């Protein structure tokens, strides 16, 4: 295994900073996911949703505040007031293994692929603050990212994750599309057949029969 800085920032993060983005601190939460993220993970792992997702009910005021604070999730609570988050067990994400994330990159949630970047009102921003050095970041009680601490430019930070601006923009567009579809997977939204006049008539007939049985 490569040593020192020959290893990626993600591989060195927990060692250098004391914990990684997959290890939430007290009061912190893991990534907010969409139904499309869940569908990808289930297709790859066969796990039931409750095995890796926690549901956090929010008040209408909390939902509005969340979307205002995180523009990439604007519209997430349009049809639900429940936040879907990755589940943590014993202080770490259920998918974190000894060698890092156990999910194949093709199955990982879009926000995980984006981190430490996230959509802003215009373009993108960092999802975490910078302390100024890995040493200072290690003493911070707040979430930090080793790659963000080590990078000397935006381009350098993108290269840390083998990304270019075009790739980052594509991920942001993907997140927004998945948020727009939530809480239904994108595939379900695309494939849902339109309700024809005949279909509506049949639905009305069945509804009348159900009401008759209830009387």
The predicted-structure confidence for 53-112, as pLDDT tens digits, reads as follows 999 999 999 999 999 999 999 999 999 999 999 999 999 999 999 989 999 999 999 999
For residue 142, give its domain range: 4-214
Other C-beta atoms lying within 10 Å of the C-beta of residue 74: 16
Question: For residue 177, what is the enclosing H or E element?
Answer: helix 165-181
Q: Residue 53 and residue 56: Cα distance in Å, rounded?
A: 10
Q: What is the pLDDT along the chain (215 residues), one digit of tens a residue?
A: 444 555 889 999 999 999 999 999 999 999 999 999 999 999 999 999 999 999 999 999 999 999 999 999 999 999 999 999 999 999 999 999 998 999 999 999 999 999 999 999 999 999 999 999 999 999 998 999 999 999 999 999 999 999 999 999 999 999 999 999 999 888 766 544 444 444 455 555 554 544 444 33
Q: Residue 149 and residue 109: Cα distance in Å, rounded?
A: 24
Please tell me the predicted confidence (pLDDT) of residue 202.
Answer: 53
Q: Residue 29 and residue 14: Cα distance in Å, rounded?
A: 17
pTM (2 d.p.): 0.83
Total domains in the fold of the chain: 1
């Amino acid at each position: 295994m490569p040593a020192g800085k020959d290893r990626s920032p993600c591989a060195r993060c927990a060692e250098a900073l004391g914990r990684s983005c997959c290890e939430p601190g007290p009061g912190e939460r893991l990534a907010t996911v969409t139904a499309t993220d869940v569908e990808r993970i289930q297709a790859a792992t066969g796990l039931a949703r409750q095995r890796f997702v926690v549901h956090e009910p929010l008040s209408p005021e909390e939902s509005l505040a969340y979307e205002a604070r995180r523009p990439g999730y604007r519209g997430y609570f349009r049809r639900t007031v429940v936040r879907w988050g990755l589940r943590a067990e014993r202080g770490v994400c259920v998918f974190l293994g000894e060698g890092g994330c156990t999910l194949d990159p093709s199955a990982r949630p879009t926000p995980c692929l984006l981190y430490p970047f996230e959509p802003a009102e215009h373009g993108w921003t960092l999802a975490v603050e910078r302390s100024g050095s890995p040493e200072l970041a290690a003493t911070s009680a707040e979430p930090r990212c080793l790659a963000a601490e080590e990078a000397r430019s935006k381009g350098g930070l993108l290269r840390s994750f083998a990304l270019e601006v075009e790739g980052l923009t594509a991920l942001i567009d993907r997140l927004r599309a998945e948020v727009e579809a939530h809480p239904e997977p994108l595939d379900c939204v695309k494939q849902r057949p339109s309700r024809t006049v005949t279909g509506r008539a049949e639905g009305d007939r069945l509804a009348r029969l159900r009401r008759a049985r209830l009387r």
